[in-house]
Amino acid sequence: MRKKLVAGNWKMHGSLQQNAALLERIKAAMSGLTCDVAVCPPYPYLGQVQSILAGSVVTWGAQSVSEHAAGAFTGEVAASMLVEFGCRYVLVGHSERRALFGETDEVVAAKFAAAQKIGLIPVLCVGETLAEREAGMTAAVVTRQLSAVLNRSGVAAMASAVVAYEPVWAIGTGVTASPVQAQEVHAVIRARVGALDVVVANGLRILYGGSVKPQNASELFGQADIDGGLIGGAALVADDFLAICQAAN
Ligand code: PGA
């Protein structure tokens, strides 16, 4: 059985004070939870998160990473730096990175490889836009995004990675993919990996993201191929985030 994972993507939100309050609430609630829980704050707060969560079972990660190991890349952050701040995970290919910062499938695959090389667990985000869904291209788009990573890193790399299916039209919109719609795409992802290695595919955690709320989390997490969630807006509200974690129990 795959252990569920609920990861909070804080995006560009937070302050030292807000983060401390939220993290203390999460830490205090962990004894009642059986799923894995992670938070992904903005870079400057990784040190704060590391010190507050030290010794707790809550893990953390970053929201992006450079594909380069070091060098003249002003404004970028290397995977080795994330490791120094105790990160376990790093998101790669979030749709906002793809759409707003021009990250191509190839760049995302390079980031995935850079993260994994140093021992971070990449959370590969994939998902179609509304126009792509309406054009019947959902499976093709998600498969293309996934294949860029498989072609570069090989299927064995998926044994120490997480995939997050996040339909772009559901992110921050309040519109969630129905459990059936989400399950359908999760099954496509698992089948694509399974065509190369069934054991790796069966062990792969595939998260759903896009307007997950306490009200819809249980039904989503109840689907055969949905192994938890990547939570944006609701991850900033302790009660909501913890209710979603409860739904993954
Ligand atoms: P949302 O964001 O939960 O606010 O839709 C999810 C994400 O972008 O990871």
Residue 167 has pLDDT above 90, yes or no: yes
Does the beta carbon of 210 lie inside 6 Å of ligand 1? Answer: yes
Cβ atoms of residues 165 and 126 within 8 Å: yes
Does the beta carbon of 212 lie inside 6 Å of ligand 1? Answer: yes
Active-site residue flag, 134:
no
- Give the mean pLDDT of 22-48: 97
Q: Which atom of ligand 1 is nearest to the CA of 125?
A: 9
pLDDT for the residue numbered 87: 98
| Residue 132 structural domain | 5-248
- Cα(247) to centroid(ligand 1), Å: 17
Q: Which of 89, 175, 211 to mutate to test the pocket of ligand 1 (most atoms within 8 A of CB)?
A: 211
Number of domains making up the chain: 1
Q: What is the mean pLDDT of the chain?
A: 97
Marked catalytic residue, from 67, 94, 103, 128: 94
- Give the mean pLDDT of 228-239: 98
For helices 138-153 and 179-194, angle between their N-to-C axes, nearest 10 degrees = 30
Single out the residue of 62, 48, 53 nearest to residue 17, CA to CA. 48
pTM of the complete model: 0.98
Distance in angstroms (rounded) separating the CA atoms of residues 4 and 249: 8
pLDDT digits (tens, 9 = 90+) for 57-110: 999 999 999 999 999 999 999 999 999 999 999 999 999 999 999 999 999 999
Which CATH number covers residue 54?
3.20.20.70
**Share in percent of the chain as helix, strand, coil (round to 5):** 50, 15, 35
Distance in angstroms (rounded) separating the CA atoms of residues 25 and 57: 13
Q: Which atom of ligand 1 is nearest to the CA of 164?
A: 9
φ, ψ at 93 (rounded to 5°) = 75, 25
pLDDT for the residue numbered 237: 98
- Cα(94) to centroid(ligand 1), Å: 10
Active-site residue flag, 219:
no
pLDDT for the residue numbered 1: 80
Q: Which atom of ligand 1 is nearest to the CA of 233?
A: 4
Does the beta carbon of 150 lie inside 6 Å of ligand 1? Answer: no
Q: For 203-216, b where at least 16 C-beta lie within 10 A, e where not — what string?
A: ebbbbbbbbbbbeb
Marked catalytic residue, from 67, 103, 166, 186: 166
Single out the residue of 42, 46, 122 nearest to residue 84, CA to CA. 46
- Cα(203) to centroid(ligand 1), Å: 24
